[in-house]
Amino acid sequence: MNKFVSIFNDVIGPVMTGPSSSHTAGPTRIGKLAKQFIANDLLKADIYFETKGSFAMTYKGQRSDKGLAGGLLGWEPEDVRMVNSLNEAEKCGIKITFNIADFNAPHPNTVKLVLTDINHNKFYITGLSLGGGMVELIEFNGYNISICGDFYELILIFNSYKDNYDKTILKVLKENYIEPEYVNTFEKSQDTLINIKLSKKLSKEILDKIKKLTSPDYIKLISPILPILSRKNCSVPFNSAEEILQYAENESKDLFQSAVFYECTRGGITEEEVINKMEYILKIMKESIEKSLHGNAKMPYILQPQAHLVKKAEAEGRLINIGVLNKIIYYSMSCMETSSSMGVIAAAPTAGSCGIIPGTLISICEEIDLDDESCVKALFCSGLIGVLIASHATFAAETCGCQAECGSASCMAAAGIVYLAGGTIQQSISAASLALQNVLGLVCDPVAGLVEIPCMTRNIMAASNAVSCANMALAGVKEVIPLDEVIDSMYSIGKMLPRELRCTCLGGLADTKTGKNFNKNLQQIKY
């Protein structure tokens, strides 16, 4: 089964509460998917993080515990109640424990869940948070599975399997004009699990008929958690910068039009639906900037609100006149402050880099008097560049360091800025390449496991880099190394980075004397 990247699933989004897409939104989605596997009300959840993984050191500071609790309560990642999810779970009679244990984790962001329902049935689930809020469940009760939240998933387990069961199920579906997207079978000893992926929900009547005819020992329909569903005949029109340029030249399209065509093709949805989704995301971005622009963000840990200080200093003429860049600084900071206070933001492509794209594109639109429609178009341009990164590398700092987060966002923002300035597709791609080249090797070393230091100032650095590279490309400066090759290089470099520099709090600034003191002091705080 091919994995085709979606702008809304993988790149611009999710809309979520901060502070981390892979450590807050990802766990929320894992919890929301896992909760659907149990047959009755949840009584207890024992959650395990691998000793050497990223969650072990960061799950409190990056609110993975609250995300998992919210997901187990059935909440969406953008639910404003997320900050109180642990208390809400306790009120609902759900006991949740968090444990650090040694096990063979296939990914730095691996979480094992043991869920116990009110009838004391236990369900064993393993999930991965893959970066940017994307997840995959890879194990259920000893069966190897692959559930990413982009299908309706019919799960059946037979302790005594008969060869005609799958044919019987498919016949029932066909009688109701339902064509399965994929049918997967997993075996364990004498037992068999059948996973049928669907593009639409099954009615209770259909499920009851399947149960009557096959008598499974377990049956559950899992609902999707991603905004854009997948399908068997899913395809994308291009998958590299070179292919985008070729399409645009052949069809006389600009970068925005190419991005819309891509997402319509990928999702099987209309242009109107695609535009409406991005308009909503722009609304969230603007609100996330405005919410903390006046020094009112509730940041409980190391940093206090500071975006308003830059805004005030600019108004009083105390800053060097660097034009729109000063506004970009405090807009980007404000968005990050909203995220740190568990406010609602749009990850673009991650929560740890959420200030860069809105900070640059919205500021520049205001500066040169462009409307929201123009900003939406620029967001699509940024999103299409992000598709290339998601397809050929990653946005996960746990895998590739901060070059994959702030670096990717800077690369994407540069392309969008060029579009706003009236540049060509080639200039957008050149700017993206230059921006990403400048941050190769950037490590992820969050002090005390929080998305604050150095994340806040790295957002500013990356935003400034995006503007500079956009101007260079508009002036005709050549990138020399093609964007596709730079993306490949970023991924290669990321795999060379030691795990201490990939969001584990074991190296870099997190390992300084001051960083360690912050970590020690914050361990005394109830998150």
Give the tens place of pLDDT for each residue, 350-364: 999 999 999 999 999
Determine the Cα–Cα distance for residues 215 and 120; give it in Å rounded to an integer: 22
Beta bridge partners of 367: none
Asked whether 109 and 24 are in contact (CB, 8 A), the reply is no
Q: Which two tokens stand for residue 426?
A: 């080639």
Is the per-residue pLDDT at 160 higher than 60?
yes
Q: Is residue 50, in this structure, part of any structural domain at all?
A: yes
Determine the Cα–Cα distance for residues 469 and 490; give it in Å rounded to an integer: 18
Is the per-residue pLDDT at 93 higher than 70?
yes
Mean pLDDT calculated for residue range 167-194: 92
Q: Is residue 10, in this structure, part of any structural domain at all?
A: no
Mean pLDDT calculated for residue range 109-132: 97
pLDDT at 187: 85
pLDDT at 94: 98
pLDDT at 2: 61
Q: Is residue 392, in this structure, part of any structural domain at all?
A: no
Bin 335: left if φ > 0, else alpha if -120 < ψ < 50, else beta.
alpha
pLDDT at 526: 56
Determine the Cα–Cα distance for residues 506 and 498; give it in Å rounded to an integer: 10
Mean pLDDT calculated for residue range 259-264: 98
Residue pLDDT, tens place only, 411-455: 999 999 999 999 999 999 999 999 999 999 999 999 999 999 999
* Mean confidence (pLDDT) of the chain: 96
CATH code of the domain containing 137: 3.30.1330.90
E-strand ranges in 122-228 read 122-131, 134-140, 143-147, 152-158, 182-188, 191-198, 218-222
Asked whether 29 and 44 are in contact (CB, 8 A), the reply is no
Q: Is residue 448, in this structure, part of any structural domain at all?
A: no
First-residue to last-residue Cα distance in the chain: 40
Residue pLDDT, tens place only, 285-304: 999 999 999 999 999 889 99
Residue pLDDT, tens place only, 309-366: 999 999 999 999 999 999 999 999 999 999 999 999 999 999 999 999 999 999 999 9
Q: Is residue 385, in this structure, part of any structural domain at all?
A: no
Determine the Cα–Cα distance for residues 515 and 506; give it in Å rounded to an integer: 10
For residue 16, report the phi and psi dihedrals to the nearest 5 degrees. Answer: -160, 165
Q: Is residue 156, in this structure, part of any structural domain at all?
A: yes
Domain count, the chain: 1
Cα torsion 418, 420, 426, 429: sign: positive
Alpha-helical (H) ranges within 178-270 are 204-214, 241-251, 255-267
Mean pLDDT calculated for residue range 156-162: 84
Closest alpha carbon to 408 in 337, 469, 487, 347 = 487
Identity of the amino acid at 450: L
Q: Is residue 99, in this structure, part of any structural domain at all?
A: yes
Q: Which domain holds residue 115?
A: 16-222
Residue pLDDT, tens place only, 109-118: 999 999 999 9
Closest alpha carbon to 333 in 311, 351, 355 = 355
Residue pLDDT, tens place only, 471-502: 999 999 999 999 999 999 999 999 999 999 99
Model pTM score:
0.96
Q: Is residue 112, in this structure, part of any structural domain at all?
A: yes
Closest alpha carbon to 435 in 374, 397, 481, 401 = 481
Is the per-residue pLDDT at 527 higher than 60?
no
